[in-house]
Structure 1
Amino acid sequence: MSKTVEYIFDLAAPNGYLAWYPLKDIVARTGSELVVTPVFLGGMHKLTGNAPPMMRDADVKGKVPYAALEFRRFLDRHGMDRFSMRPDLPFNSILLQRVLVAAQDETQRQALVDALLPAVWERNIDCGDAETVGRELAKAGFDAESLLARTQDDAVKQQLANNTARAVERGAFGIPTFFVGDEMWFGKERLEQLESYLGGGKP
C-alpha cells in the first residue's frame, strides 16, 4: 500500500521552495501520494517561539555564513539556478496561503504551488498585493477573481489558522515539515531519510 506524504507548507519559506521539487521526485519514485497542508509561517513562529534562521542565529559566530553555504550547495546540486533570494525576507505570506487554502481540491492546490513558487522565489513578486498575485494566477490559467474573493471568506481564514495550530500541536515548528502518518521530518536535509522510509526503511 502506498504511503501519503503530508507537506506542511508556506510559500514564504525559501527552504520550502528548495524542498518542493526534490519532494515531488521522491513521491513519484516511491509511488507515494502527496498532500499539501497550507499553514501560516508567521503564526507558527509565534506559537512555537521560533524565528527565521538568519535572525535566530545572527549572534552565533560562523553559523549564518555556513547556512548560506549549505543553501547554495543544495541549489547547485539540484540545478535550481533560477532561485533569487528576496530582499524583503521575512515577508507576510497570508494572502498567498489563503489562496492555497481556497483551492477547490488537492490537484488544484498543488498546481497553485507550482505556479506561485517561481513567482515568489524567482521573480520576487509583491506577495501582499492582490492585483499582482491575481495577474500571476490568471497567467497560469486560474480563475484569479474567484480565488482572491475566497481569500476573504471567514471559513478560509479560519481553516488556515486551524491548519497552523494543528501542525504545531503535532510537533511542527518550521518549513519544510513532512509527515507520513505520525512520523515527522523537518528540513530539506531530511529528504533522503524520508525517501528511505517511503521505500520501507526505518524513520
Structure 2
Amino acid sequence: MASQRMEDLTRAAAQAAAREGATFEAEWKPVLLGGLYELSQAPQGKKGSATDAMPANKRQLLDQDLQRELKRCGIPFKRNDKHPVRSLDAQRLLCAVEDAGTRVALAHALFRAYWVENKDVSQQDVLASIAQHHGINDVKDRIQNEKNKDTLRANTEWAAGHGAFGVPSFFVEVDDDLNLFFGNDRTHFAMRRLGVTPEHPLARPLRLQPTLRAAPKQDLVLNFYHDFSSPWSFLGSTQVFRLAEVHGARLVMKPILLGALFREIGTPNVPMLAISSVKRAYGGLDMQDWCAFHDNVPLRFPDDFPLRTVLPLRVAIADPAVTKHIYQAAWTQNKNVGDKDVLRQVLEKAGFDAETLFSQADQQGIKEQLKRNTMEFKDKGGCGVPTFQVGDAGALVWGQDRVNVVADMLSEAAESATAPSSSL
C-alpha cells in the first residue's frame, strides 16, 4: 500500500524542500522482513508472520481495516493464494539494480505481481519474466552474487539497528536528525517532519467526506468502547467528544474491562510488555507524535501503571460525565484512579458527589452492566481500546489513529440518514 503512495509523497516532500532552498532525495532500500523479525526478537520469530501471535478478533479487525484502507486509498489488491511467499530472491534482485529509477520501477512491478496478479515471486522464472521488462536479463547471476547478498543483509541490519521492526519503515533525516515512522498510516508524520505544511492533504490522515452534521431529528449514535487503563484510550477520549459534537451525534460511552476482554480473547494482560523491546520503544515515540498531532496533549504515564480500573469504570457507568475528569487525572496528573481515596479526591474536585457515585457503583446492576459491555464488545469482534462504532450495527473501528475514518462514517451517516457500511 505504501509503495503506491510514494510518488505523491516524494513530490510533496520535494516541493517543501524547494520552498526552503533545500534538496530532497528518496531512496528505496530493500530489506528482509524475516531478518527484521529476528533482529528485533519479534514473538513470531524469523519465519513467522506478525498475525501469528494475534488472537482471532484482532486478526479479523486488522483485516477489515486493511480492506477499508485499500478501498479508501483506491489501491488495487488481491491476497496472494500462496501468501506468505519467500521474498529473499526478489529482494536480492532489487539490491542488484544500481539505477534508482529502474529499482523503483522493478519494485512496483514486483509488488504488483505479488499483491495484484497473484504470482509466486519466489520462483526465478517469474522474477526473470518481470525483470526482462526492465532490461534485466541475468537474474540468476544477480541473485547469487555475493555483493547483492551482502547489500541486502547490510540494509536489514542497518534498519534494525536504527529501530525498525517491520515494513514499511520510513527513515526521515533532516539536518542529521534521523526519525523512524512505521506503517502506511504514519506517512503524514513523515511529511510534517520533511516540512510539508499541516494543511496539505498528505500531512494529515486521509479524509474522503466533508464534515456534515446530522439533522436535528436524526438519531446519529457514536459508541465509544474504552477503559481508563489504556493510554491510547485516553488519546481517543481527547478526540471523541469533539468528534460527536461537530457531527451532531449522540455519544454513548461504553466502559469495558480491558483485562477481562484480553483474557477472553487470548491477549496478554499488558500487551506492550509482551512485544519486543524495539517495538515497545517505537510505540512510545509514536505516542508522542500523536500527542503533538492532537494539539500537544500532555500525556504522562502514571507511576502506578498498569492501573486497576474496575471502580472508575463502574463510576463512569453511573455517571458518564466523570469520564473526562478520570482520564485527565490518570494520564496527565499522575493520579492512581484505581485507589478509592484518590478517586474520591478527583471526583470531588470536579464537583461530583463521590460517595453517591461509589454507592451506585456498588449496585449489582452497575456491576452487571460493565460485564455486559465487555462481553458485548467481545462478541462484536472487539480486541482493544479505544474502539468506535457508528450506530449499533456499524463496523468496529479500532484505534485512536482512525478518528479520520470515524469522521467520514459520521458524515456519510449524516448525509444518508442510515448507518454507514464498513467500506469507508
Same fold (TM over 0.5): yes
SS of the counterpart of 1:175? coil
Q: Does residue 1:197 correspond to 2:413, yes or no?
A: no
Q: How much has 1:82 moved relative to structure 2? A: 2.3
Over the aligned positions, Cα root-mean-square deviation in angstroms equals: 1.7
Query: CA offsets per residue over residues 156-196 of structure 1, 9 Å max, x none?
Result: 11111111111111111111011113211000111111111
Tell me the SS of whatever aligns to 2:253. strand
CA distance in 2, matches of 1:53, 1:80: 25
- Deviation for aligned residue 1:87: 3.0
Structure 2 counterpart of 1:28: 245
SS at 2:315 equivalent? helix
Cα drift, residue 128 of structure 1 = 2.4
- Greater relative contact order (CA < 8 Å, ≥ 6 in sequence): 1
Distance 1:153 1:22 in 2: 31
From 82, 99, 113, the equivalent of 2:298 is: 82
Aligned 8 A contact 1:99 1:147 in 2: yes
Q: 1:16–1:132: structure 2 CA closer, same or farther, 3 Å change rule?
A: same
Distance 1:112 1:63 in 2: 33
Between the aligned partners of 1:91 and 1:85, the Cα distance in structure 2 is 10
Asked if 2 retains the 8 angstrom alpha-carbon contact of 1:102 and 1:150, the reply is yes
Whichever residue aligns with residue 126 of structure 1, its letter is N
Partner of 1:42: 259
* Paired letter, 1:173: C
The CA deviation string for residues 74-127 of structure 1, in whole angstroms up to 9 with x for no partner, is 001112342211233222111111111222xxxxx1x20121111111112122
Alignment of 1:152 with 2:152, yes or no, is no
Give distance in 2, aligned partners of 1:198 and 1:158.
Answer: 30
Shift of 1:53: 3.4
Q: Which has the larger radius of gyration?
A: 2
Q: Which amino acid aligns with 1:28?
A: E
Cα distance in 1 for partners of 2:265, 2:403 equals 23
Q: CA deviation at 1:19?
A: 0.9
SS at match of 1:199: helix
Per the alignment, residue 113 of structure 1 pairs with 323
Question: Does the alignment pair 1:187 with 2:405?
Answer: no
Distance 1:26 1:91, change over 3 A: same
**Alpha-carbon separation, structure 2, partners of 1:163 and 1:145:** 24
User: Gaps spanning 5+ residues in structure 2: where?
Assistant: 1-217, 413-419
Asked if the contact 1:42/1:92 (under 8 Å) is kept, the reply is: no
What is the CA–CA distance in structure 2 between the aligned matches of 1:112 and 1:136, rounded to whole Å?
9
Q: Where do residues 9-24 of structure 1 align in structure 2 (5 Å cutoff)?
A: 9-24=226-241
CA distance in 2, matches of 1:88, 1:54: 15
Is the 1:7–1:178 contact (alpha carbons within 8 Å) kept by the matching residues of 2?
yes
How far apart are the structure 2 equivalents of 1:4 and 1:124? Answer: 32
Change beyond 3 A, Cα 1:16–1:191: same
Deviations 1:21-60 (A, max 9, x none): 222222222222211011111111111112333123136x
TM-score (norm 2): 0.44
Residues 44-83 of structure 1: pairs in structure 2 closer than 5 A: 44-51=261-268, 52-58=270-276, 62-83=278-299
Report the number of matched residues.
195
Shift of 1:3: 2.3
Report the equivalent of 1:106. Answer: none
